[in-house]
């Protein structure tokens, strides 16, 4: 298993070196029935980087994020146009295997949502879905995932405890561990810290900077300081459109678009 | 509004709410208390020696030597009653006299066949003798003195008839002579009344003390033992000591009941003193002793629940309930899952939802008739089972009855599972089915168990649906699910509308009802404990 992990790491590094984007959106639009969610998004996200998506409420940043692993499909009457390519595959193609896609593209939600099961069972949920039932293999994956999400030291003695008995910050890190256990290439985070106190937020942010060595992270956040702290690239969405997408320092220090400047200086939104 | 008024209104609200809760509790206690008390008397009561004998004979329980010795003691105290009645009856028993007359007539007929008289003579003699016998019988049976005297005079006419000299028929005339002597100066009407009433006394004594020693074993099980319970004995003693009469006041007017002491009815005879004797020595004759009859809950009963317990009823109720639950829980949960997870909101689905809601309010007798028409008459024959009420049909009817409740509860429970759980599962690559089985269902389990509790109580207590589909009041313990069964609910109903016999064992009626209440309480407690454990596990304590 460890070797497997190493393979994955080298593979990720390999893709990073070739610098071809892992997520590539080309004129992508998404509709809820007749209502538009996002419109004509064109952006590339590089592997092993942290990309922040910011923007006012209702601007479509969550819609875009959830399009990347097709979580929006749960809502009846949705429709996608244009191209959204993840890891070389057009994910809105009819032949795409949703199970594989979602294992490749993990997701962490706004509110910590561990299953009402034990810590062990929570993390083991994904691997078990993939058919891993061997106890030692599971143990190893769970240890790795919990270590990767910096939760191992806190819970290693009582993995049988219910996940709901953990604190909010711990629960969110458990959710990250759960997402990591399926060994995804991309990790989507939908405002992962909005329900947490500053201390827990700090821990998650540290975790994000550790994880970016091995995973591509896309994070939606309302907290601009957070975006500035953790991300390399930042995308600013407004009214369903991608206004500006650039290196984080440039967006925050010298935005090229007036709307972006207004938003980050607090004059709007 | 001023703060003072607001506080006052708050206080009034609290008081009114509290008072209504207290009122409800009091009503509940007022209803349940007496019921529990009377039902409890089915288990804890004063058992007589007859009870111990019944337990020995019917259930093989108890120390045989001790019980036999005890019942001998009791018989010694009872002996006086039987000898007194026997003596008294010897004097008044006109039935006995009639039987004697008939015997003589039969004997004479046989004798005639032996003689060598001509056929004509024989025929004439026969018809004369028959007339004599008939007149004698009417004399014995009548209470009208003039009529009796006339009949006896007719018979005594033949006293000197040469044809009867030295034949067995002379016995008939002897009987007439004896009887006319016996009734000299006696009120005939009184004598007839004694005859009727002593038979009543004997009947009550059979119920109170069991069959008289030496009598043949009665065919009915309930007549084989006397009063098994002291409270029953007291009731029978009342009937023994008081003669009940219904007196007509006039046309269109209700009759009134009049009670007279029986000793007064038998005034002047040796029976008169017997009643005081029985009253004083009843404890000696029945030997009541506090009894804890816990086997009430496992024992079979004699027909009519006169003796024994409610074991088969409890078994039947449990069987029906558990089987119905086995049918309804999977169906209910799957239907609810479909309604929540898969069904779109179109016209057909709206009709289905409305139907489910309506079904929840349909009277249970309708379900009973449906069960009869569908399961018993249609469904069972398809699978080659006999088309009669049985446990299978009854439990399926009960399942149908409670299906709406189960669907509604499960639907609510599944709907209440946070969407985030489902999202998390789906985001990990799980299919919708896998998500439902592994995440939604476990999280909805407490709510589903609430549905189970609601259904359970309803199923265990329902009478109407099992009325036509598988419940019987009498019958053997079922051997398979294709046999009908007794149930507590149907048993209670049957005894409530039952005959006089049921009224003689009120402790059994109440016992059955209380057992049903306790059984539902137990089932609910188990389900509630299960639910709280699941809940705790989910909540992570």
- The 10s digit of each residue's pLDDT in B281-298 is 888 888 899 999 999 998
CA distance linking residue A211 with residue A187, whole number of Å: 9
pLDDT at residue number B407: 93
Closest alpha carbon within chain A to B538? A116
The distance of Cα B42 from the centroid of its chain, to the nearest Å, equals: 13
- Give chain A positions within 8 Å (CB) of B423: 71, 74, 107, 109, 113
Among A96, A26, A110, A102, CA closest to A71:
A102
pLDDT level of residue A13 (50, 70, 90 thresholds): very low
Q: Is residue A30 pLDDT above 80, yes or no?
A: yes
Confidence (pLDDT) at A17: 44
Q: How sure is the predictor about A20, in pLDDT bands with cuts at 50, 70 and 90?
A: confident
Q: CA torsion A200→A205→A209→A211, rounded to 10°? A: 60
DSSP codes, B475-524: -PPPSSTTS-B--HHHHHHHHHS--HHHHH-HHHHHHHHHHHHHHHHHHH
Cβ pair A194, A134 in contact under 8 A: no
The tokens describing B181, both together, are 């002597």
Q: Which of B147-151, B373-377, B478-482 has the highest mean pLDDT?
A: B373-377
Residues 6+ apart with CB under 8 A from B423: A71, A74, A107, A109, A113
Q: Please report residues of B whose CB lies closer than 8 A to that of A101.
A: 429
Query: For position B185, what pLDDT does the model report?
Result: 63
User: Domain extents for chain A?
Assistant: 2-265
Kindly determine whether residue B426 and residue A74, on different chains, have CB atoms separated by under 8 Å: yes
pLDDT(A12) > 80: no
Indicate the pairing of strand A105-108 with strand A186-190: parallel
Q: What local confidence, expressed as pLDDT, does residue B324 receive? A: 94
What percentage of chain A has pLDDT greater than the value 90? 12
Q: What is the mean pLDDT of chain B?
A: 87
The predicted-structure confidence for B155-198, as pLDDT tens digits, reads as follows 888 888 777 777 787 888 888 887 777 776 666 777 778 878 88
Q: What does each C-alpha distance from A216 to A8, A87, B338, B363 come to in angstroms?
A: 13, 11, 38, 62
Domain residue ranges of chain B, discontinuous segments joined by +: 47-85+195-304, 90-182, 311-539
Residue B540 has pLDDT above 50, yes or no: yes
As separate numbers, helices (DSSP H) first and strands (DSSP E) second, chain B gives: 23, 4
Q: What is the mean pLDDT of residues B440-458?
A: 89
Predicted pLDDT at B90: 66
Mean pLDDT, to the nearest integer, of A141-158?
88
Contact A14, A215 (CB under 8 A): no
Tell which wins on pLDDT, B142 or A67: A67
Tokens 């609200």 locate to B13
Tell me the pLDDT band of B327, cut-offs 50, 70 and 90: very high
Would you tell me how many other CB atoms lie within 10 Å of the CB of residue A161? 15
DSSP lists the bridge partners of residue A218 as A51, A188
**B492-523 per-position pLDDT tens digit:** 888 888 767 777 788 888 899 999 999 999 98
Whether B344 has a pLDDT exceeding 80, the answer reads no
Cβ contacts below 8 Å, chain A against chain B, sum to: 78
Identify the CATH number of the domain defined by range A2-265: 3.40.50.300
Has residue B474 got a pLDDT over 90? no
Return the pLDDT at B343: 78
| Predicted ipTM beyond 0.90 | no
Separation of alpha carbons B419 and B425, rounded Å: 10
Average pLDDT on B50-55 reads 90
From the list B424, B434, B442, which residue is nearest A113 (CB)?
B424
| Site from B343, B349, B413, B424 to mutate, A interface, most A CB atoms within 10 angstroms | B424
User: What is the tens place of the pLDDT at every residue in B349-359?
Assistant: 899 989 998 99
Taking CA B320 as the corner, what is the angle to CA B318 and CA B325, rounded to the nearest 5 degrees? 95
What share of chain B in percent tops pLDDT 70? Answer: 97
Report the 10 Å Cβ neighbour count for B55. 22
Tell me what pLDDT residue B115 has. 78
B107's tokens? 């004997």
Q: How would you classify the pairing of strands A89-90 and A78-86?
A: antiparallel
Q: How close A62 gets to chain B, by Cα (Å)?
A: 14
The single-letter DSSP state of residue A117 is: S
CA distance A112 to A194: 10
pLDDT digits (tens, 9 = 90+) for B239-284: 889 998 888 888 888 888 888 898 888 877 778 888 889 989 888 8
Nearest C-alpha neighbor of A189 from the set A82, A80, A54: A54
> What is the model's pLDDT at position B93?
66
Mean pLDDT of B234-243: 90
| pLDDT average, residue stretch B27-55 | 90
Q: Which residues of B touch A182 (CB under 8 A)?
A: 428-429
Token match 């010298």: residue? A254
Q: Is the dihedral of CA B156, B158, B160, B166 positive or negative?
A: negative
| Average pLDDT of the segment spanning A255-269 | 81
Is residue B443 predicted with pLDDT exceeding 60? yes
- C-beta of residue B293 within 8 angstroms of C-beta of residue B47: yes
Q: In what order do the strands lie in the sheet with A35-45?
A: A35-45, A23-32, A78-86, A89-90
Q: How many residues in chain B? A: 541
Mapped onto helix, strand or coil, the DSSP state of residue B298 is coil
Q: Which residue has better confidence, B90 or B514? A: B514
What pLDDT, on a 0 to 100 scale, did the predictor assign at position B341? 84
CB contact under 8 A, A103 and B429: yes
Give the confidence band of A149 by pLDDT, cuts at 50, 70, 90: confident
- Options 2.70.98.40, 3.90.420.10, 3.30.450.20, 1.10.3720.10; CATH for B311-539 is 1.10.3720.10
For residues B104 and B133, what is the distance between their CA atoms, to the nearest angstrom?
9
């Amino acid at each position: 298993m460890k070797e497997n992990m190493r393979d994955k790491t080298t593979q990720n590094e390999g893709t990073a070196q070739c610098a071809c984007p892992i997520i590539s959106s080309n004129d992508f639009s998404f509709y809820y029935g007749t209502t538009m969610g996002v419109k004509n998004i064109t952006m590339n996200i590089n592997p092993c980087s942290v990309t922040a998506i910011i923007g006012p409420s209702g601007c479509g940043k969550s819609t875009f994020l959830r399009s990347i692993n097709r979580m929006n499909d749960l809502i009846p009457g949705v429709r996608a146009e244009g191209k959204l390519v993840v890891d070389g595959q057009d994910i809105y193609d009819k032949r795409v295997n949703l199970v594989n896609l979602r294992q490749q593209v993990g997701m962490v939600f706004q509110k910590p949502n561990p299953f009402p099961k034990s810590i062990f069972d929570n993390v083991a949920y994904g691997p078990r879905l993939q058919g891993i039932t061997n106890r030692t293999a599971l143990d190893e994956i769970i240890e790795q995932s919990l270590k990767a999400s910096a939760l191992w030291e806190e819970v290693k003695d009582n993995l049988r405890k219910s996940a709901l008995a953990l604190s909010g910050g711990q629960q969110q890190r458990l959710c990250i561990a759960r997402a990591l256990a399926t060994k995804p290439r991309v990790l989507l985070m939908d405002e992962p810290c909005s329900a947490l106190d500053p201390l827990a937020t700090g821990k998650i942010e540290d975790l994000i900077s550790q994880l970016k060595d091995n995973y591509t992270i896309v994070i939606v956040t309302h907290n601009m300081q957070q975006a500035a702290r953790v991300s390399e690239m930042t995308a600013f969405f407004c009214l369903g459109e991608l206004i500006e997408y650039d290196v984080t320092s440039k967006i925050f220090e010298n935005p090229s678009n007036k709307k972006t400047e207004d938003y980050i200086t607090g004059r709007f939104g | 509004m001023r703060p003072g008024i607001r506080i006052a209104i708050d206080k009034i609200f609290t008081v009114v709410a509290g008072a209504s809760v207290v009122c409800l509790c009091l009503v509940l206690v007022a209803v349940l208390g007496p019921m529990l008390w009377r039902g409890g008397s089915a288990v804890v009561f004063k058992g007589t020696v007859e009870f111990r004998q019944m337990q020995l004979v019917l259930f093989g329980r108890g120390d045989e030597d001790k019980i036999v010795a005890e019942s001998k003691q009791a018989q010694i105290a009872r002996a006086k009653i039987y000898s007194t009645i026997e003596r008294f009856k010897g004097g008044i028993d006109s039935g006995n006299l009639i039987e004697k007359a008939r015997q003589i007539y039969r004997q004479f007929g046989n004798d005639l066949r032996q003689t060598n008289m001509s056929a004509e003579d024989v025929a004439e003699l026969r018809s004369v003798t028959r007339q004599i016998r008939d007149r004698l019988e009417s004399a014995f049976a009548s209470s009208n003195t003039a009529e009796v005297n006339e009949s006896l005079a007719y018979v005594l006419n033949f006293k000197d008839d040469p044809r009867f000299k030295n034949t067995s028929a002379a016995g008939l005339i002897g009987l007439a002579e004896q009887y006319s002597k016996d009734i000299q100066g006696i009120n005939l009407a009184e004598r007839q009344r004694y005859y009727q009433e002593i038979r009543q006394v004997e009947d009550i004594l059979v119920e109170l003390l069991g069959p008289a020693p030496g009598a043949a074993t009665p065919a009915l099980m309930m007549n084989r033992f006397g009063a098994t319970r002291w409270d029953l004995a007291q009731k029978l003693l009342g009937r023994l000591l008081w003669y009940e009469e219904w007196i007509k006041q006039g046309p269109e007017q209700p009759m009134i009941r009049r009670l007279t002491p029986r000793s007064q009815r038998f005034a002047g005879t040796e029976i008169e003193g017997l009643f005081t004797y029985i009253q004083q020595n009843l404890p000696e004759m029945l030997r009541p002793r506090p009894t804890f009859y816990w086997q009430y809950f496992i024992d079979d009963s004699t027909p009519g629940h006169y003796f024994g317990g409610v074991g088969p009823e409890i078994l039947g109720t449990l069987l029906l309930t558990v089987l119905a639950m086995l049918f309804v829980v999977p169906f209910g949960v799957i239907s609810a899952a479909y309604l929540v997870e898969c069904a779109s909101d179109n016209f057909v689905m709206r009709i289905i939802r409305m139907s489910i809601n309506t079904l929840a309010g349909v009277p249970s007798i309708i379900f009973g008739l449906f069960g009869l028409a569908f399961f018993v008459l249609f469904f069972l024959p398809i699978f080659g089972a006999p088309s009669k009420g049985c446990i299978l049909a009854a439990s399926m009817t009960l399942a149908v009855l409670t299906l709406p409740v189960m669907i509604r509860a499960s639907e609510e429970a599944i709907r209440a599972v946070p969407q985030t759980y489902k999202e998390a599962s789906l985001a990990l690559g799980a299919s919708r089915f896998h998500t439902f089985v592994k995440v939604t269902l476990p999280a909805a389990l407490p709510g589903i168990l609430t549905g189970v509790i609601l259904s359970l109580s309803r199923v265990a207590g329902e009478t109407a649906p099992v009325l036509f589909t598988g419940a019987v009041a009498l019958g053997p313990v079922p051997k398979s699910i294709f046999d009908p069964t007794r149930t507590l609910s149907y048993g209670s109903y049957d005894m409530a509308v039952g005959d006089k016999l049921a009224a003689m064992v009120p402790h059994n009626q109440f016992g059955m009802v209380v057992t049903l209440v306790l059984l539902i309480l137990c089932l609910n407690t188990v389900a509630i404990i299960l639910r709280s454990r699941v809940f705790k596990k989910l909540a992570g304590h």
